[in-house]
Structure 1
Amino acid sequence: MDANPPTRSRQPRLGSQGDARDPSRRAWRASMEAILTLIARFDEDFRAEVGIDVRTYDVLLHVFNAGEPGIRMTDLAREVVITKTGLTSLIDRLEARALVRRRPDQSDRRAFRVTLTADGERVFRAAARIHVAGIHDRLGQHMSDEEARVVADVFERVKSANLTAG
């Protein structure tokens, strides 16, 4: 009896030598591992320095960038790629910490807008300094400006294609 019965077509496992032969799989694996590693390092830095996590920083960033009169909860959920329920829970926690304020939208009473409090802006600015330094230290110093432009162009194109894919 043969211990390895014949199969129709053996596909290399993901992460195996098949990745080396398939540039798209290699790009997927390398980008996924790099992004997850970067997110973990930023998460550690944010928690240690300002007491927030990466998801919170992303929310504070979008709220800060929206300015006054704030960002609508539905728009914020789309920007940070989180469910409305997950965002509501996170905003509840940030409100309890007095980092954000939620107010009814003047143009649509069913909707809410989120703005930063003074403490929220202080925490955001401290985290932004960590983020900018980390981008240089953990990413920028490992590629040329031209490589950075190519990487950005490719991932913007991939994101756009996958957001519009049905």
Structure 2
Amino acid sequence: MRIALYPGTFDPITLGHIDIIRRAAMLVDRLVIGVAINRDKGPLFSLEERVAMIEAECVVLSDLTGTEIVVHPFENLLINCAHDVGAQIIIRGLRAVADFEYEFQMVGMNRALDNSVETVFLMADAGHQAIASKLVKEIARLGGDVTKFVTSPVKAALAGKYG
């Protein structure tokens, strides 16, 4: 069974994340969405809110791809999380060259910790390359329209946070 782990903060989940999840799910038998409990980042949404949003979005993707998609919060090293969920593959989405430089360093560190877990990069669809959760939150906070970047339920959740 091919199991992959797609980690992130997902604060909130965007159309870019959903694109990567959909495409990754077509490559594996089980896809685990690892939701990082990163207290240092000070997320807008609680862990429970982020997990609920991801689970809601993944129901449709699981049905569409026929792949089991599960959500797994984690607070340990990424490589340890991969072991915890039985993943042989870590999925990372790339938007730009700056992403690659950071991810290249992370792959090197993860391989030094355990070279049995492979990292696979998926390029974001051209229509989603500019989407970043940080920017989506900023647009929503300032009253802008985030319809092009998130689903309707996530847009409503953002509106609930910012009023």
TM bin (shorter chain): under 0.3
* Larger proportion of strand: 2
Larger Rg belongs to = 1
**Higher normalized helix content (fraction of residues):** 1
Q: TM-score, normalization: structure 1?
A: 0.27
Larger RCO: 1 or 2 (CA < 8 Å, sep 6+): 2
